[in-house]
Amino acid sequence: MVQVETIKNTYSRFFVFYTRLLRSIVMLLTVVAALGVLTMLTITCLDVVLRLFRNPIVGTLDIVKIAGVITIAAALPYTTAIKGHVAIEYFFHKLSRTGRIIVDTFSRLFGLALFASLTWQSIQYAASLKHSGEVTPTLQIPIFWIPYVIAFSCAIVCLVVLYNLLHPGKEMIKP
């Protein structure tokens, strides 16, 4: 009986650590997304103002595109953690409790498979970009690292979905 209790305590401590670490990573990515929006806003506004003086910022489009991709990728884990994705609530609530559990579980498993696939494909794409030496058109910034950021965010989404599967009906982070 003592051994079973020890295993339960170990599992419980691990899961608390896992949840705290995952929440920290999600919140860090949320800060990255916020900084991406701030970057896009600042660069765009500065470029507009400087164009009035005939001195635009070179590579504005490159910077805004990169910041946009990073913002979207970094925001996905937070949106998943608060269960903020679009759902068809009207039809979902028409189902019985068992039906809702089945549909929710199926959709989460599908999402897990989708984001796992996106993680893998992003890693492969990043490797091909690195091999080819692809750069942005104006500033010549290497872009191979961007799919790695997307892959990392998608992997975190997978972990959040796993948390959601283990805790049905409860969001990981309160909005």
Helix-helix angle 145-166:60-81, to 10 degrees: 10
On whether the CB atoms of residues 122 and 147 are closer than 8 A, the answer is yes
Asked whether residue 69 is domain-assigned, the answer is yes
CA 164, CA 81: separation in Å to the nearest integer?
8
**pLDDT value for 56:** 94
What three-state secondary structure class fits 105?
helix
Of 48 and 8, which is predicted with more confidence?
48
Average pLDDT, rounded, for the chain: 91
Q: Where residue 2 falls among pLDDT bands split at 50, 70, 90?
A: low
Q: 19-37: per-residue pLDDT in tens?
A: 999 999 999 999 999 999 9
What three-state secondary structure class fits 1?
coil
Number of domain units in the chain = 1
Asked whether residue 90 is domain-assigned, the answer is yes
How is residue 59 annotated by DSSP? T
Asked whether residue 157 is domain-assigned, the answer is yes
Q: Where residue 100 falls among pLDDT bands split at 50, 70, 90?
A: confident
Q: Where residue 142 falls among pLDDT bands split at 50, 70, 90?
A: very high
Residue 106 pLDDT > 80, yes or no?
A: yes
**pLDDT value for 84:** 78
Residues 6+ apart with CB under 8 A from 65: 136
Asked whether residue 175 is domain-assigned, the answer is no
Asked whether residue 114 is domain-assigned, the answer is yes
Asked whether residue 174 is domain-assigned, the answer is no
Residue 87 pLDDT > 70, yes or no?
A: no
Residues 6+ apart with CB under 8 A from 49: none
Domain that holds residue 160: 2-166
